[in-house]
Amino acid sequence: MRVHKLRIESRAVQRRPHLFAGDLVIDGQRLYDQVERVAGRSLDLASPLGWMPAEYLREWSARLVAARPTLLQSGRCELFVCPECGDLGCGCVSCAVSRDGEWVVWTDLGWETDYDPAGLVRFPMGGFRFRADELAGVLGLPNHAISDAAEDDKG
């Protein structure tokens, strides 16, 4: 699997132009657009970046680098959530997050809720492999968040 680069861009949320969220852009392409294309429908979701509480964002960022446990019963991490309330019960786009040394891999993207893991709908799209330190930096995590998680994996 090739190495991908993530960057964050600000954008107005679909049907909510007053709300700006951090858009996940991988290798120059909006992840949201890629997901909608493979889902075959429009999704009314947004990344939590820029509008959810700071504590949630710290934990979310840590989940995306496999440094914290997930909130979803499926063991997956939310990428895009309801832009009205952020509640995972409204549905979210999620992925499996794994850590392999200096790498973080997001795979198996799909749509699910926090109350029905059996209702997961997987999207036919590939995964994304990132350098853990670069991904953590883009997500605003301190370097020790990655090294602490690596130590926890060993211990």
- pTM for the whole structure: 0.90
What is the tens place of the pLDDT at every residue in 22-35?
A: 999 999 999 999 99
Distance CA 96, CA 152 (A): 19
Residue ranges in the chain whose pLDDT is less than 50: 150, 154-155
CA-CA distances (angstroms) from residue 73 to 38, 89, 151? 24, 12, 24
The contacts of residue 153 (CB under 8 Å, 6+ apart) are 99
Q: In what order do the strands lie in the sheet with 16-26?
A: 6-13, 16-26, 29-30
